[in-house]
A and B are shown apart, each in its own frame.
Chain A
């Protein structure tokens, strides 16, 4: 067992206990509480619905995210049969799967204090149902894949340090942990996977660590081949990624926005810079300098691809490495301890604590708030079929609550519209950011669909999913009608909206069946029945 390899079982036991506790806090109440980003939640649950209906991600439907982002909520749903439990239970399962690797890595590389702090930091970031950098009360499972990527990468980067004490089988355990985390990243969000593979390649240049890095790369390659045998969709995954890259670009935003984004994370850059420079003054190692700079630069490139203002976890990993490096150097240095006003050893430990502790407390409060709100059944159950265990709460998040209620009313309206149009199971496509309608009206999900249509994310002026594939199966198409004067209405009018991008194709193959304040429901035009067309049918105006 991996736990047995730890030098300090107490830290490992504590972390394992924390992982179990976090998993329990997520899973036991069996409810999802959310205060914002409802469309994202619907998209996640739609993924679970598609998988549980037998569809395979990237073979039958397309998103720029990895297949695990659909399988994780699907596992939660499969175990519980409840969409309200899908995300909490899915994340609890993932937490229990990832925790042993995280604990093995921090336990073998870091001193007990650092291992405990950084391990708790990673586990809580993984468990907390918020988008990193947002308020304690802004509960949401949206963007959960970013947190998975950050945690797996944060743990992996600590392997830059040599193990504190090498035991029998260390290389194999290291290789397994590294390969597992890398695979999680590759199949959750590819941007993280690319950085992880780059890091493993970087480790090949370290002759002391090369052994596990080679094995890890080998395991990743074999695993990917095995996955391909079953999945057969790597090519399609890559195609979706290239499309997303085309649409949104490798570096998003104006230089002013990029500067602001850096400044939001300024305090972390400063503090990690401080501890890294402190460590470099002792090691004078170019390789270390490259590692710290890589953590900062690649971490920023990663967050630039995320919908996330704060939280470059690679910086925290760099701080852990720097702190451990300092402590290892100071260990034999008796002079250092005998300063009259302060001690560098205690200073290093406390500086690292100062870097991670605020986030540890923040995430603990949020996770506790979610569990408490779930147990207390806070907020209102969503008035959407099958989603009665998803609750929208207003935790002093007034602005978000108003937006969510409006969106929810529109979705309820769309559900009724669809039910009135047909009680069958014909597939429906939504020209919007999420499709909660297939799940809510028990329709069979369409194959070939992209259930996440968002301007400059998955659809853009430079590239878009091909309409012949996107519209191949759906019988109905729901087109949102933005409120007059809203940003979305402006985007639609200027052609910067999925509905505008596909307007021509839609008009040619679908006709409006019904319309409400929030939606236009399009129905597929009856196919021209050419073989049996008699004289009478030519008199009718045919579809153009």
Chain B
């Protein structure tokens, strides 16, 4: 009885599944990670920064959208515990997006397609794993990519007109499309650009033009509203431009190899698209399928992600639904295309199960308190676990050991330090020790991605507000950073503590500046002052 009801009303099944995913994430209240410890630290630091009142792109540089920091911050705020910041933040994301899932999928797709796609996208969103990696590679790293994919995929489903247009349909469609577009824009800009392009593309479709144009207007109004509070859109764009200059132009080679890595998905997607177009040729459909195939590849080439162009699965769902519609109306050549829903299932089922296993594994390990804690006081509910394959466990263990050593050095200072920065990938100390974070520095420094010899922020600006600068002897990309900023450090700082792995530098004018900056910090200049900042 209940099962058949869930089958015919996918909304309820999707909402139920969203609740389950959210519970699996949030209930254990622990973060388990087996890889990418350093990436995780960016967002723990970010949650901490937000919790002390900093604002992304105003108080610290980041090429990721502000939501990538506010989501873990919301999780932290709700739970009061950094170990819950990401699981709870992602659970909130799942629950917030779930009604949008329910509306978009049930208004456009038959249950036969809506259910598998809904579960697939929910699990992509919820799973603490970088897409395309092993079940044992648990990590919240790159969670923003998964949010971008899920939101963009849902938006693409809106290419299909609503199956039964009710009076509230236009309003709900506009609200959903606006929300999804804003989520992509303020999570990671590459997805946002594609979302906006898609909304513009929908203007050519007469029946859908109304919600598309209202959504574009609402997105604009939303962006203006955000800017009224945030006042950092300009600074965010500066940071994006810096990151794009550092990363350099896209190479044809990357695109070809990226395409070949996703060959199996492209083949199944193309099979469905060809079935639909062979059934009844339509320029609009052809353009839509091309839109799923190409921008998705461009996005994935910007991600650090071995597999997963989720626009293909969205396009395949649309194709399967188009085939169902044509069959029901007896249009065109039907015989073989009546199997389209099964091909779609084949495309999404393996990944759905894969993600479900990984999500379940994370929940199980979290309940079992597996692995060792990170070792900094406020990271006591964040654990590094080793599963069946070593992965980068050795590296992570060494990295955590060096962080603990740095923390001990900071605790040995006569005063409680503040405005601490690290000359490496990320700063674990502000969040881990509960220190007041500096302003004007970068949320992370990834050599070749947002900093390089050719393009970087000057040391005076990046470390202008930094009092203690920790320089590691070993780390992720400390060597090129030491070379780049060495002259500035020698000029503006003096070493005060040396340990086996760290040099702690203190700003030379720190004692004199203390009196001056104490009053200034609250109304400090911050970042967003003009275009001269980023070079």
Q: Point out residues on A near B: beta carbons under 8 Å.
A: 135-137, 254-257, 259-260, 263, 266-267, 270-271, 274, 340-343, 345-351, 353-355, 357-359, 361-362, 365, 396
Contact = CB atoms under 8 A, between A and B. Distances in A.
A266 B356 CA distance: 13
Contacts of B268: 354, 357-358
Contacts of A347: 338-339, 341-342
B260 A341 contact: no
A257 B328 contact: no
B349 A256 contact: no
A136 B343 contact: no
Given A341-B328, A346-B338, A354 B346 contact: yes
B267 A267 contact: no
Given A266-B354, A362-B264, A271 B337 contact: no
B253 interface: yes
Given A357-B271, A361-B267, 10 more contacts: A257-B389, A263-B135, A271-B346, A342-B342, A343-B327, A346-B340, A349-B339, A351-B339, A354-B268, A365-B263
Nearest to B337: A346
B336 interface: yes
B110 interface: yes
B387 interface: yes
B328 A342 contact: no
Given A357-B268, A396-B253, A396-B256, A260 B388 contact: yes
Q: How large is the interface on B (under 10, 10 to 19, 20 to 34, 35 or more residues)?
A: 35 or more
Contact of A343 (B263, B338, B345, B346): B338
B112 interface: yes
A347 B338 CA distance: 7
A346 B388 contact: no
A365 B257 CA distance: 13
Nearest to A361: B267
A315 B342 CA distance: 19
Contact of A255 (B261, B264, B337, B388): B388
B353 interface: yes
B323 to A, nearest CB: 9
B263 A136 contact: yes
A359 B336 CA distance: 21
B343 A267 contact: no
B335 interface: yes
B350 interface: yes
24 contacts: A135-B261, A137-B260, A255-B388, A256-B387, A256-B389, A263-B354, A274-B346, A341-B112, A341-B324, A341-B328, A342-B112, A342-B339, A343-B339, A346-B339, A347-B339, A347-B341, A350-B340, A350-B343, A351-B342, A353-B271, A354-B346, A357-B271, A361-B263, A396-B253
Contacts of B351: 267
Per CB-CB distance, the 7 closest pairs between chain A and chain B, nearest first, are A256-B388, A346-B339, A358-B264, A343-B338, A267-B350, A350-B339, A347-B342
Interface string B266-307: 011001000000000000000000000000000000000000
B347 interface: yes
Given A347-B338, A353-B271, A396-B257, A271 B349 contact: yes
B327 to A, nearest CB: 7
B263 A358 contact: yes
Interface string B374-400: 000000000000011100000000000
A346 B328 contact: no
Contacts of B345: 274, 351
Given A256-B389, A347-B341, A270 B267 contact: no
Nearest to B389: A256
A345 B346 CA distance: 15
A279 to B, nearest CB: 14
Nearest to B338: A343
A136 B264 CA distance: 12
A11 B201 CA distance: 43
Contacts of A340: 327-328
Nearest to B259: A136
B453 interface: no
Interface of B: 110, 112, 134-136, 253, 256-257, 260-261, 263-264, 267-268, 271, 324, 327-328, 335-343, 345-347, 349-351, 353-354, 387-389
A343 B261 CA distance: 31
Contacts of A362: 263-264
B21 to A, nearest CB: 20
A7 B51 CA distance: 73
Contacts of B354: 263, 266-267
A353 B135 CA distance: 27
A116 B278 CA distance: 20
Contacts of A263: 134-135, 354
Contacts of B261: 135
Given A136-B263, A256-B388, A349 B349 contact: no
A351 B346 contact: yes
Q: Max chain B CB contacts within 10 Å: which of A260, A340, A347?
A: A347
B388 A354 contact: no
Contacts of A136: 260, 263
Contacts of A353: 271, 343
A270 B338 CA distance: 22
Contacts of B134: 260, 263
A114 to B, nearest CB: 13
B113 to A, nearest CB: 9
A41 to B, nearest CB: 23
Contact of B327 (A255, A260, A341, A354): A341
Nearest to A274: B349
A90 B400 CA distance: 55
Contacts of B328: 340-341
Contacts of B346: 271, 274, 351, 354-355
A354 B341 CA distance: 12
Contacts of A260: 134, 136, 388-389
B336 A350 contact: yes
A128 to B, nearest CB: 13
B269 to A, nearest CB: 11
B338 to A, nearest CB: 4
A270 B264 contact: no
A420 to B, nearest CB: 41
Nearest to A270: B350
Nearest to A398: B253
Nearest to A255: B388
A155 B324 CA distance: 34
A252 B268 CA distance: 34
Nearest to B112: A341
Given A267-B350, A271-B349, A341-B327, A346 B336 contact: yes
Contacts of A342: 112, 324, 327, 338-342
Contact of A358 (B267, B349, B387, B388): B267
Contacts of B135: 263
Nearest to A358: B264
Q: Max chain B CB contacts within 10 Å: which of A257, A358, A362?
A: A358
Nearest to A136: B260
A137 B258 CA distance: 12
A135 B136 CA distance: 23
Nearest to A267: B350
Contacts of A137: 257, 260
B322 to A, nearest CB: 12
Nearest to A360: B267
A341 B110 contact: yes
A257 to B, nearest CB: 7
B141 to A, nearest CB: 19
